[in-house]
Amino acid sequence: MKVYDYIIIGAGVAGLNAVANIPEDKKVLIITKESSWDCNSFYAQGGIAVPIDENDIELHISDTLEAGANSCDERAVEIMCRDGIEVINDLIDGGFEFDKDPKGNLLYTKEAAHSTNRILHAGGDATGRYLHQFLLKKTNFQFLSETTVTDFLLKDNQCYGITLFRNNNFENIYGNNILIASGGVGSLYEFNTNAKTVSADIHGICIEKGCELGDMEMMQFHPTVFVKSKFARKQLISEAVRGEGGLIVDSEGKRFLFDYDSRGELSPRDIVSRAIFDKKLKDGGEVYLSLENFTKDGFAKRFPSINRALKDIGFKIPEDKIPISPAFHYAIGGIKTDLNGKVGEFKNLYAIGEVANTGVHGANRLASNSLLEALVFSKRAVAYSLKQDFKIQPIKFGFDETTLFKPKDKEYKNELRKIMWQSVGIVRRNSSLKTALQRVEEMLKLDIGRLLKLRLLTSKFIIESAVGQEKSIGAHYKIKEN
């Protein structure tokens, strides 16, 4: 029986940076659901937050804690900020090029709720794509794309491997260390900015198998998204656009955010999202992103990908105002891990990147901290696992061959996405959460495929977490009812 040293589920920044830290003599298998670039990492725009030097570490920590509504795990935040400088240096030493000024100095930008300019970026607004391609090129290990992980092989606090589905066949693959880097839950929501592969299947497996999830009511919505397209993934307009002069205005051109928070456009994203949501509800009109502070060439140079996407839709930049709406963006909650990325009592199971709940983000993620978290904790998980040098004693497992898709899944999936957006979105009420929960429970009893079942299990968990959290905090906002 072949046993890999490492099985990595997911080829975003978390998975690939883990791979970059594994010695070349190890046997490693990387699994990705569709093509290697079909992940959230590829679409990241704004950049990577990092302390600009040792003196900025404390400030980055306090900004992160404040944005997280003081619900973060302070130890995890400290690790992320202190080790952040090192992981960025790893990238630069390895040949990664962040944007620089003509004199060769790194260019740092500002995003909401950061008290200083500390966001590094690459390719203007193509940080994720550049970083993902850079890490991908460094990978020499075996890659399985178009492959879906459908189950874990767990016994006696060990993960022996996974079941995967590929070329219409199920197969068990065994490994000494299993690293889950499968991203967030975007596809559960009608309006979202995420890659379509990011659909919460692995969260669902964790629920089935008793691996603990945490903070699942904490779902982050991004305020500036163009949602009026037919594609499932909606066009995000980076926070950095607001940081560098983009204005949010109502249909009369008024900058109304100051009515909600004195920081206006630079308020944390949950405040901006709720303000836009509330404004639309009250006025019934559109809310726009105005780019009037940019020149045509300036915007195209600084934000080339967003510029291209908006022009393809038909907007004239910078004169046209872009109608915007909040959309689901980032899963703060996830699989609970310790400070080394280890999952619960399992000896050789790790979760890294967006799928993990390290406690770094608390109740609300500070902009551009997620790529940093993925880089720091993937490196830590590999370093820790190398020290443990854990080896399984292989035992044979059978596998669950339940059909992944059934004919009516698409219809139910779309219904679920609407329910999650309408009832488990930016503003929540116990009454609609309970109605949503009831319908999700009914759907779980229908004749459905395994992947939809896993989505429903995750949705149910999110809803129950939201019901259980009475206090409005960070990204979770609940209106009290009589």
Ligand X SMILES: Cc1cc2nc3c(=O)[nH]c(=O)nc-3n(C[C@H](O)[C@H](O)[C@H](O)COP(=O)(O)OP(=O)(O)OC[C@H]3O[C@@H](n4cnc5c(N)ncnc54)[C@H](O)[C@@H]3O)c2cc1C
In the bound complex, what is the minimum distance in angstroms from residue 330's beta carbon to ligand X?
Answer: 6
In the bound complex, what is the minimum distance in angstroms from residue 317's beta carbon to ligand X?
Answer: 19
In the bound complex, what is the minimum distance in angstroms from residue 10's beta carbon to ligand X?
Answer: 3
Give the residue with the Cβ less far from ligand X, 149 or 437: 149
Interface residues for ligand X in 211-240 (CB under 6 A)?
236
Helix (H) or strand (E) holding 459: helix 450-468
C-alpha distances in Å from residue 385, one per residue of 208, 266, 337, 360: 25, 40, 14, 21
Shortest Cβ contact with ligand X: which residue?
12
What CA–CA distance (Å, rounded) separates 10 from 144? 10
Q: Provide long-range contacts, Cβ within 8 A and 24+ apart, for 391-397.
A: 391/176, 392/3, 392/158, 392/160, 392/161, 392/174, 392/175, 392/176, 392/348, 394/1, 394/3, 394/160, 394/174, 395/155, 395/160, 396/1, 396/172, 397/153, 397/155, 397/160, 397/161, 397/163, 397/172
Give the residue with the Cβ less far from ligand X, 91 or 195: 195
Strand extents, DSSP E, 213-337: 213-214, 219-226, 235-236, 247-250, 287-290, 322-323, 325-331, 334-336
In the bound complex, what is the minimum distance in angstroms from residue 407's beta carbon to ligand X?
Answer: 21
The span of 32-40, 66-74, 169-177, 430-438 binding ligand X (CB under 6 A) equals 32-40
Sign of CA dihedral 334, 227, 434, 441: negative
In the bound complex, what is the minimum distance in angstroms from residue 163's beta carbon to ligand X?
Answer: 10
Q: Total residues contacting ligand X (rule CB under 6 A)?
A: 45
- Residues 335-374: x where in contact with ligand X by CB under 6 A, - otherwise, as a string: ------------------xxx------------xxxx--x
Measured distance between the N- and C-terminal CA atoms of the chain, rounded to whole angstroms? 61
Among 109, 193, 340, 348, binds ligand X (CB under 6 A): 193
What CA–CA distance (Å, rounded) separates 81 from 86? 10
Give the residue with the Cβ less far from ligand X, 120 or 437: 120
Give the residue with the Cβ less far from ligand X, 201 or 250: 201
Query: Look-up: residue for tokens 């009369």?
Result: 252
Give the residue with the Cβ less far from ligand X, 118 or 478: 118
What CA–CA distance (Å, rounded) separates 39 from 359? 22
Q: Pull the structure tokens for residue 206.
A: 């964790």
Among 5, 6, 7, 32, binds ligand X (CB under 6 A): 32
Is residue 41 within the footprint of ligand X (CB under 6 A)? yes
On whether the CB atoms of residues 276 and 241 are closer than 8 A, the answer is no
Interface residues for ligand X in 128-187 (CB under 6 A)?
128, 148-149, 181-183
C-alpha distances in Å from residue 353, one per residue of 15, 327, 332: 8, 21, 10
On whether the CB atoms of residues 331 and 324 are closer than 8 A, the answer is no
Among 4, 5, 7, 11, binds ligand X (CB under 6 A): 11
Give the residue with the Cβ less far from ligand X, 129 or 428: 129
Length of the chain, in residues: 482
In the bound complex, what is the minimum distance in angstroms from residue 312's beta carbon to ligand X?
Answer: 16
Sign of CA dihedral 109, 18, 237, 102: positive
In the bound complex, what is the minimum distance in angstroms from residue 480's beta carbon to ligand X?
Answer: 31
Give the residue with the Cβ less far from ligand X, 36 or 290: 36
Among 43, 98, 256, 288, binds ligand X (CB under 6 A): 43
What CA–CA distance (Å, rounded) separates 8 from 120? 27
Interface residues for ligand X in 66-95 (CB under 6 A)?
none
Query: Look-up: residue for tokens 């920044």?
Result: 13
In the bound complex, what is the minimum distance in angstroms from residue 476's beta carbon to ligand X?
Answer: 19
Among 8, 18, 39, 271, binds ligand X (CB under 6 A): 39
365: annotated active-site residue: no
Please identify which of the residues 118, 129, 242, 269 carries the catalytic annotation: 269
Instruction: Kindly list the residues in this chain that would bind ligand X in the complex (CB under 6 A).
Output: 9-15, 31-34, 38-41, 43-48, 127-128, 148-149, 181-183, 193-195, 197-198, 201-202, 236, 330, 353-355, 368-371, 374
Which residues are identified as catalytic? Answer: 269
